[in-house]
Amino acid sequence: MPQTSDDPLPPVLPVILAGGSGTRLWPLSRKHYAKQYLSLDGETTLLQATVARIAELPCTDPLVICNEETRFLAAEQMRQAGHDGALILLEPAGRNTAPAIALAALQAQTHGDDPVMLVMPADHKMADPAIFADAVRTAIPFAQAGQLVTFGISPSRAETGYGYIRTGDVVGQGPALAVAAFVEKPDAETAARYLATGAHLWNSGIFLFRASRYLAELETHRPDVMTACRAAFAGKTGDLDFLRFDADAFLACPDVSIDYAVMEYTSDAVVMPIDPSWSDIGSWAALWDASDKDADGNCEIGDVLSLHGSGNYINAGSRLVTAVGLQDTVVVETKDAVFVAPKDRVSEIKDLIAQMTAEGRPELDHHRVVYRPWGMYDSVDMGDRYQVKRITVNPGAKLSLQKHHHRAEHWIVVRGCAKVTRGDETLVLSENQSTYIPLGEIHALENPGKIPLELIEVQSGSYLGEDDIERFEDRYGRA
């Protein structure tokens, strides 16, 4: 039976799922810079907001699950959020939530522990996180007693974009309810019926359970997933703050969500009803709905000048965006792409994504601004045999010792101090000074200062791709 409210609560282990690509918010969200790493409110990223909403709970350092491409981005944002000690688990490939959570549960038991795990997607928004934190406190005794808890959102409308949970009887003294069934995304008529009955909650995808209970249920209902995950975990290796797993074993794992693998079959599922003004930010229309708006229902971000419009979401990322007479429209501008659609047709972005995938468009994966463990670069201009980048190197950071086989580089320092290795030479450059890196010369760039180093890089040569790098030393493990 769940313990009484007077019993002390044990620390829970947050497990943050940060591996999604979030292409429904393209062009802001892309494969290598997905929506969980974006600051949609201009203050904190969704990943950081996920961590912040559990700050008042008894928690250990989180486990973060992401992919190889975004590992340094996740690490830096966790550092900024005050969690330098967070271990980051790297999925060799996307295999949905059931295998990812299994890896986290296996890691949680490494030292013989069996913690209560709080599993949260990193890309949700909650306007009232205190309500969520209170619900977690209330749910911990149920998880300690061996039940698998999920959190259901009290629906505010007949939403067709979410899955639902049909609730059953009150469990114990409540407020948890038995899970009668998990229900797929309904059509409009069915969603209206769900709302009218009051017996259905939106499926938030947030869970609370002991590591051992989840693994036991996964072993019972999907032993094939469990076998693959155990094999992948057995081949784990550490790298800085990252944990890698055997890729071949994990690639053999079926692609399946925790709902389909465990929650629909276990007899111990319970749901906690909550209403923290939640959104999964699953579309531009959902983001508009969850954002602050003016008297005409417009959400305008950046340098926007809009007249005689209403119900719009306009996001200007890099320049002035003007509009006249728009109604219920989404306009999103970035340095290299613009998306425009009526708000009631934003779901059709999936067709655009499919077409861009078929055409191999690089804008689907990368922004013009690309983040690296040492900082970032912006590809300002490109033409035949040349490319111009604006590079920012964080204080104390260093690019790898490397050489290029097809290009030479000129570096001009705009701000800060640069320590340059060029062959056998070591140079220290300040603002307005420059240097030249000949083709084939071994070189490195470091920021020894206290402020960001900014420089302009002009590349010239027969091939300017990012894969023309031969690394010899790298503090970030990429050599």
Split at pLDDT 50, 70, 90, the class of 7 is low
Mean pLDDT score, 242-250: 96
pLDDT tens-digit readout, 271-313: 999 999 999 999 999 999 999 999 999 999 999 999 999 999 9
Look at the alpha carbons of 223, 228, 234, 236 in this order and tell me if their dihedral is positive or negative. Answer: negative
pLDDT tens-digit readout, 324-339: 999 999 999 999 999 9
Residue 252 confidence (pLDDT) above 60: yes
pTM of the full predicted structure? 0.90
Say what the pLDDT of residue 156 is: 93
What is the CA angle 98-101-107, rounded to 5?
A: 140
Percentage of the chain beyond pLDDT 70 is 98
Say what the pLDDT of residue 326 is: 98
Among 40-44, 152-156, 223-227, the range scoring the smallest mean pLDDT is 40-44
What is the pairing mode between strands 321-324 and 338-342? unpaired
Residue 1 confidence (pLDDT) above 50: no
pLDDT tens-digit readout, 381-439: 999 999 999 999 999 999 999 999 999 999 999 999 999 999 999 999 999 999 999 99
Q: Which residue has the higher pLDDT, 139 or 43?
A: 139
Domains, the chain, in order of start with CATH, read 13-279 (3.90.550.10), 292-358 (no CATH), 374-473 (2.60.120.10)
Residue 41 confidence (pLDDT) above 90: no
pLDDT tens-digit readout, 314-326: 999 999 999 999 9
pLDDT tens-digit readout, 63-79: 999 998 899 899 999 99
pLDDT tens-digit readout, 199-231: 999 999 999 999 999 999 999 999 999 999 999
Say what the pLDDT of residue 6 is: 58
pLDDT tens-digit readout, 125-134: 999 999 999 9
Mean pLDDT for the chain?
Answer: 94
Say what the pLDDT of residue 3 is: 46
